[in-house]
Amino acid sequence: MRAYRVVGQRVARIDAREKVTGHALYADDVILPGMLYGKVIRSPHAHARIVHIDAGAALRRRGVKAVVTGRDFPDVKFGFTKPTQDRRALPIDKVRYIGEGVAAVAATDKDLAAEAADLVRIDYEELPAVFDPEEAMKPGAPRLHEHAENNVSAICRFNFGDIEEAFRVADHVREDSFSTQAIMHGYLEPFAIVARYEVVTDRATLWAAKQSPYIIYRNLARGLGMKPSQLRIIQPHVGGGFGGKHEPFDLDFSAVMLSKMTGKPVKITCDMEEVFLSAYRRHPMRIRLAVAARRDGTLLGYRCRLIADGGAYAGVGHMSIYLAGAFLSLPFKVPNLRYDADRVYTNKPFSGALRGHGIPQMRFAAESQLDALGRDLGLDPLDIRMRNRVRQGDKLANGFVVTSCGLTESLELAAEAVDWTHTHGTLRRRGAKVRGIGLGCGSLSSGSRMGGHDASTAVIRVHEDGKVHLLHGSPDVGQGSNTVLAQILAEELGLTMDDIQTTLQDSDFLIFDPGTYGSRVTFTTGAAVRTAAAEIRRQLFEAVSKEIECAPGDLICKEGRIVVRGNEDRGVSFLHGVRLCYYKETKPLMAHGSATPAEFTAHFGDPKQLTSGYGNLSGSYSFTTQGSEVEVDLETGEISVLHFASAHDCGYPINPTLVEGQLDGSVAGGLGQALFENLETVDGLLLTPNFTDYGLPTSMESPQRSEHFHIETDDQFGPYGAKESGEGTQISTLPSIVNAIYDATGIWFRHLPITPDKVVKALQETYGANYLDHPFFNDPAARRRSGGADGRGNGRSRREERA
Amino acid sequence: MISPGVRHVRPREYQEACALLHERQAAPIAGGTELYLRMKQGVATPRSLVDLTDLPGMRQIERLADGTLRLGAAVTISALERSPLVAEAAPVLAEAAQRVGAPQIRNMGSLGGNLCQETMCWWYNRTALWRQAKEPCYKAGGSLCHVVDQEAVCYAAYRSDLAPILMSLEAELIVQGRQGERRMGIDELYSGDAAFPFTLAAGELISAVLVRPLGEGDVAAFAKHAHRRSIDYPLVSLAVAARGWTNGAAGRLRIVLGAVSGMPIRVPEAEALLEAAGAGERSVAEAAALVAKHAKPVRNVSFGAPAYRRHIAKVLARRLLGDLLARRRASSG
């Protein structure tokens, strides 16, 4: 039994007080003497050549200090990997989507900057544009980038096992098509940056709302023609990331360059509409998925064709389509896989990482198809999942290794929470409302190796007064990682939360992490904190052992004291130990530690590896099952989520309250994609450029009841056995809801979002105009017989074929 | 961006207010919840804001000697929601008020502002940056409509949450002008042209709304359908008010549809059907079909697929009118 005192406890967030009292400093709160305000000028065209930019009238305005355009930057492109280096600080030749930054102005106040932006005259020559990825792949389609023939920006071609054989020997095959929409991250803090260029040192200091200062550091430096060491990045608090604040944007480059041009600090804060128009979003995906199975439901193989709408630039899109394919199998064991994916350029804002990164789209398809497969074969969705689930020690077709796995327990717990055995498939109708339940499973990597610098670093300094200070390289973007890391440190040194301080990141004081993405922080940075803490203990124990005459190896840290193991009366207070180091040994107490996922993972920074797809992505994988109950108003088509039960194996919850916050947040995010959100564009123009039109769900749309089950599998690599918990659960939310809607209505929705108008239309088309009177909604026996509207029509059983 | 040079004035007399409003590019303001947003987007560009909240009686809710409920036009939506006088005279109005925006918006937004809420369209209520990508439409002073460009008509939607219920209650408005005060039915407020939706002349303002209380035998109900349960404007709303409905009198019904046109729409044919003696289940279905027929939504707002909004109009009508009929039967039986 574990006997932790701080780890595993529901301690309060260390930044809670600062945030709720409004004292936390965000990028837009930074005000420097002499600071100018910038404004980015954005393209009104989806595709156009930039003919001429005339800033004369703007510059003649009193108070306008500078205008920057693409020509003011070095002639370099940047990107995630070499083949995908397709972005510039600001474009010079042409614009590729409506909202793309073209130039920026700096003026003495914000209003003046906005007025000056209107005075900059940009002449464009409009070009034919393309918005549909399949159209864009056709010969003769408008080409976005010279280097990309047929507008293909990245591809994946996986082939594991023997797919032909799998389909040949299968008892049953079926093939279905799916599509998902573009959605936003929905962070409440828009993009903001303050940049201060210092002429004398030729360095720039930045305060920016980013979740990965390291990626910015590299790409920003490249786009600016500076060395990373010329940039100092001071991390303010961040108002949400969800994968959306990795890339450097027009405002970041412009602020630094405008500061360089004027010799003054420059602040640029976007409004939310600018974020909607210019930020990256989740990849819309079109998925054609064929499954081969045995009669008993054993999955033999998947053949998948995927086309991802990449928008105007590559970003990390190669990784996105890799991940969609990498999780074609997990959380289930499927021996034969064939995956062909193309990510295609279109004249829209580009697509990138968003909570679950590429995986939710694929699992929505695969797991809702699993229920359909069950219907074809007369198998219960729970049984078919149980039959194919992965277990600890499994090695998957694509090289994934499962080191710990609580999927079995999670399936059992989630099924029990929604009373699966008695409820699923039954008719539960009251008036115009019917209820249904669904299951969805998911799995996610706990950090991965993305190429370049991949290690996490922690620096611990112990003050003379006994307080311990932690500096580490992974920004807390609201998920609470600073609290978790402080818990780990307190536990390691036998202290309480009150003894730990943290400072937000500053690149002049420590080495940055790759950043807060891919659910890596607790897993990797947590390990770095433990390593550094062990070094602090070593130094302390050396000093204390001399004082009380024992072997350093006999000492432990416990409850604010350093004592002899097995004889805990013998020892000194932690503070006394610290003072022995400083005053007697005259050695300041300071240590650093680092950790890396490199030892157990393949290197996915290599484009070849991303394309062919083989290799273990992560040291550990989390597992989830979510059971949901929905209520569908058959007349209005509205869907309410009544109950959501998340049974989650995150190895070990270091802070159960924070883990539950992540689970609820994931559910809200998944529910938004399933039912509410859509970035709807017409000819590249976004019709939902604000939170009102976009329809982000509010607390009123969140599940009325939410349950959490923590499954402890004590992972061998994660700190205290912990694995990821930040985004994996968003993966199972989509299929869980989609399957519950099927249970309620007998309709399988394969195209997201499932808005009320689509529900009504589908009901009318499936059951006729008087659908409320249809036996499916009135006769429990009829419901069992029909097995729902998609029935057994789509799948083809080989036995039937032979007969 | 709100231009820095905007003047804010706070008159204390109606004559002064009307004179100020008669000046070029003057706009009335109370809570500002709608106007400020339009100013930020640059679709409203007033040079001066005439704050109406200090005018006499503007923030008052009272019962007049004859029992009429008098609501000052600058009364906040949350005051309507909480007022015991409203709860007593027309509880359905408090119910509708509760469905406006979100609590913060209701704390600032006013009754008059809600009634004079501009028509909206997802091709129009946009920032200058966004609008640059499209040619200006009729409402923006241009010569086309991005929704339906067949006739020279603007297809923006009027989405006030309070107008339909007030119209079904046959509310009257007190209008102040430079020539003094006049009184008109709320239905006279609307021009029918979504590009210029109101009939108020330059220099005129609404000072109060008069509502004849619901008495014994009167029944009223309101339903709103929106994308989410809070914050959103309606995709369709429906208000019904029946006077002398459950006390054996002849009964007089008003059915008003909201959010599917440039103004609230009354459906007199449906009213007549249900007013008729012997109206039954079949009449409800027929009336609901008539309501749906009158709803002519177009693709002008998010999540507002026209066929769906028409369907919802029918569902809301069936639900509200079915309930109404049931109550009449219950009272006579």
Complex confidence, ipTM: 0.95
User: Other C-beta atoms within 10 Å of A243: how many?
Assistant: 24
Using CB atoms within 10 Å of the CB of residue A295, give its burial: 0 to 12 exposed, 13 to 18 middle, 19+ buried.
middle
Residues 6+ apart with CB under 8 A from A140: none
Report the chain B residue with the minimal C-alpha distance to residue A47. B133
Phi/psi of residue A378, nearest 5 degrees: 70, 35
pLDDT digits (tens, 9 = 90+) for B28-83: 999 999 999 999 999 999 999 999 999 999 999 999 999 999 999 999 999 999 99
Distance from CA of B242 to the nearest CA of A (A): 25
Residue A788, pLDDT > 60, answer no
Provide the pLDDT for residue A448: 84
Phi/psi of residue B162, nearest 5 degrees: -95, -25
Mean pLDDT of A412-438: 97
Nearest CB to B127; choose among A273, A637, A694? A273
CA count, 13 A, side-chain hemisphere, A343 = 29
Q: What DSSP state is assigned to residue B190?
A: B
Is there a contact between A636 and B312 if contact means CB atoms under 8 Å apart?
yes
User: Other C-beta atoms within 10 Å of A755: how many?
Assistant: 22
The two beta strands, A429-430 and A121-126, are unpaired
User: Other C-beta atoms within 10 Å of A709: how many?
Assistant: 20
Distance from CA of B222 to the nearest CA of A (A): 16
Is there a contact between A685 and B227 if contact means CB atoms under 8 Å apart?
no
pLDDT digits (tens, 9 = 90+) for A716-753: 888 999 999 988 889 999 999 999 999 999 999 999 99
Is there a contact between B312 and A695 if contact means CB atoms under 8 Å apart?
no
pLDDT band for A802, please (50, 70, 90 cuts): very low
Portion 624-663 of A in contact with B at CB < 8 A: 635-637
Any B CB within 8 A of A42 CB = yes
At residue A346, the 3 state secondary structure works out as: coil
Provide the pLDDT for residue B1: 58
Buried b (16+ CB within 10 A) or exposed e, A516-525: bbbbbbbbbb
Report the chain A residue with the minimal C-alpha distance to residue B131. A44
**Cα-based distances in Å from A523 to A180, A477, A527, A641:** 30, 16, 6, 32
Instruction: Specify which residues A18 forms β-bridges with.
Output: none
Provide the pLDDT for residue B2: 64
Any B CB within 8 A of A689 CB = yes
What residues in chain B have their Cβ under 8 A from chain A's Cβ atoms? 1, 3-4, 122, 126-130, 132-134, 225, 227-233, 301-303, 305, 307-308, 311-312, 315
Which residue segments constitute the domains of chain B, with CATH numbers given? 219-332 (3.30.390.50)
Q: H/E element holding A372?
A: helix A359-377
Q: In this complex, how many residue pairs, one in chain A and one in chain B, have their CB atoms less than 8 Å apart?
A: 71
At residue A643, the 3 state secondary structure works out as: strand
pLDDT digits (tens, 9 = 90+) for A92-121: 999 999 999 999 999 999 999 999 999 999
Provide the pLDDT for residue A516: 84
Express as a percent the part of chain A with pLDDT over 70: 97
Which residue segments constitute the domains of chain A, with CATH numbers given? 16-22+455-596 (3.30.365.10), 31-127+189-239+245-278 (3.90.1170.50), 281-448+604-786 (3.30.365.10)
Provide the pLDDT for residue A801: 35
Nearest CB to B315; choose among A274, A635, A692? A635
Interface test with A, best of B98, B120, B129, B228 (most A CBs within 10 A): B129
**A256, A206 contact by CB (below 8 A):** yes
Instruction: State how far the Cα of A640 lies from the Cα of A614, in Å rounded to an integer.
Output: 40
Portion 709-768 of A in contact with B at CB < 8 A: 755-757, 760-761
**A534, A527 contact by CB (below 8 A):** no
Provide the pLDDT for residue A785: 62
Instruction: State how far the Cα of B294 lies from the Cα of B264, in Å rounded to an integer.
Output: 11
Provide the pLDDT for residue A511: 82
Q: What predicted TM-score, i.e. pTM, was given to this entire model?
A: 0.95
Token pair of A401 as six digits: 């290794």
Distance from CA of A692 to the nearest CA of B (A): 7
Instruction: State how far the Cα of A157 lies from the Cα of A330, in Å rounded to an integer.
Output: 18
Is there a contact between A685 and B132 if contact means CB atoms under 8 Å apart?
no
Instruction: State how far the Cα of B120 lies from the Cα of B81, in Å rounded to an integer.
Output: 25
**B124, B41 contact by CB (below 8 A):** no
Residue A354, pLDDT > 90, answer yes
pLDDT band for A2, please (50, 70, 90 cuts): low
Verify cis geometry, omega within 30 degrees of 0, for the bond prior to A236. no
**A676, B228 contact by CB (below 8 A):** yes
Using a CB-CB distance cutoff of 8 angstroms, which residues of chain A are in contact with residue B122? 687-688, 693
Residues 6+ apart with CB under 8 A from A31: A267
Distance from CA of B34 to the nearest CA of A (A): 13
Rounded to 5°, the CA angle A715-A719-A724 comes to 65
Mean pLDDT of A570-596: 95
**A305, A376 contact by CB (below 8 A):** no
Token pair of A754 as six digits: 């499932």
Q: H/E element holding A308?
A: strand A299-311
Using CB atoms within 10 Å of the CB of residue B196, give its burial: 0 to 12 exposed, 13 to 18 middle, 19+ buried.
middle
Helices (H), chain B: 14-22, 35-41, 77-82, 84-89, 91-98, 103-108, 111-115, 128-131, 163-168, 268-275, 281-294, 306-332
* Residues of chain B predicted below pLDDT 70: 1-3, 333
pLDDT digits (tens, 9 = 90+) for A264-280: 999 999 999 999 999 99
Tokens 């004082």 belong to residue? A547
Provide the pLDDT for residue A796: 54
Mean pLDDT of A601-616: 88
Q: H/E element holding A550?
A: none
Report the chain B residue with the minimal C-alpha distance to residue A635. B315
Distance from CA of A772 to the nearest CA of B (A): 13
DSSP A74-87: -S--B-SSGGG--B
Is there a contact between B129 and A274 if contact means CB atoms under 8 Å apart?
yes
Is there a contact between A42 and B128 if contact means CB atoms under 8 Å apart?
no
Residue A604, pLDDT > 90, answer no
Token pair of B256 as six digits: 């008003």
Provide the pLDDT for residue A798: 45
Give CA torsion, residues A411, A672, A480, A656, to 10 deg: -30
pLDDT band for A803, please (50, 70, 90 cuts): very low
Distance from CA of B223 to the nearest CA of A (A): 12
pLDDT digits (tens, 9 = 90+) for A385-415: 999 999 999 999 999 999 999 999 999 999 9
Any B CB within 8 A of A331 CB = no
Using a CB-CB distance cutoff of 8 angstroms, which residues of chain A are in contact with residue B128? 118
Instruction: State how far the Cα of A257 lies from the Cα of A250, in Å rounded to an integer.
Output: 11
Buried b (16+ CB within 10 A) or exposed e, B151-161: eeebbbbbbbb
Interface test with B, best of A61, A122, A633, A690 (most B CBs within 10 A): A690
